[in-house]
Amino acid sequence: MTIIAPSLLAADILNLEADVKMLETSGADWLHIDVMDGAFVPNINFGPGVVESLRKVTNLTLDVHLMIEKPERYIEDFCKAGADYITVHAEATNHLDRTLQLIKSYDVKAGVVLNPATDINVVRYVLDKLDMILLMSVNPGFGGQQFIEATYQKLEDLTNMIKGTNIKIQVDGGVNSDNAPKLVRKGATVLVAGSYILKHQNPKEAIQLLKRP
Ligand SMILES: O=C(CO)[C@H](O)[C@H](O)COP(=O)(O)O
Ligand SMILES: [Fe+2]
């Protein structure tokens, strides 16, 4: 069954706990937390304190997507805050292998994120250290953008590359009930959706539609 991870970027910040409870009862599997530093991406938002507060109010898997330069500087903070998964951009660190080892040293699941234009070969020699690979299907920084169609071919290539491993493939950006079935067919196992779920008049129905085979 596809894992659905609503992105809190589209949540009501002043009522974050209420939105988390609503997502729990609506069938969300994970919570996706976007962290932006205003340098790697042109936007700023949550830090480790938000993850720490979320950890106190939910048992859902906390999936932290770090859109920050040199993410190795903040791995300890996010691990101690209670993250279950931490994904770092291959484009943001000079030392991807070392950064993945650092995440795993805290017994937290580790993932790599690839921007739309980044070649999947950058993960080829770190597969043994990966629990997840996240393909961005928009350029990171903002919610509500349009899905980039080239993601399908990239996903197919990545699925072939990691065949025989237990690595999850996550897709993030512009995901909705129209593109979800094709993404799952081509190998996506975790779908992130912000606007589609949180702006839907019935988030429970939105999650069900994303899970539909
Ligand atoms: O990482 C992200 C943006 O950089 C978000 O997770 C993503 O954009 C989700 O929002 P939406 O589903 O509205 O596209
Ligand atoms: Fe994200």
Q: Which of 33, 62, 142 to mutate to test the pocket of ligand 1 (most atoms within 8 A of CB)?
A: 142
Catalytic residue among 37, 63, 131, 172: 172
* Dihedral in degrees, nearest 10, Cα atoms 183, 198, 58, 68: 70
Q: What is the pLDDT of residue 145?
A: 98
ipTM of the complex: 0.98
Does the structure show a pLDDT above 80 at 213? Answer: no
pLDDT band at 212 (very low <50, low <70, confident <90, very high): confident
Looking at residue 35, its pLDDT comes to 98
Q: Which fold has domain 3-211?
A: TIM Barrel (3.20.20)
For the chain, domain boundaries: 3-211
What is the percent of the chain where pLDDT is above 90? Answer: 99
Q: Is 84 a catalytic residue?
A: no
Residue 40 has pLDDT above 90, yes or no: yes
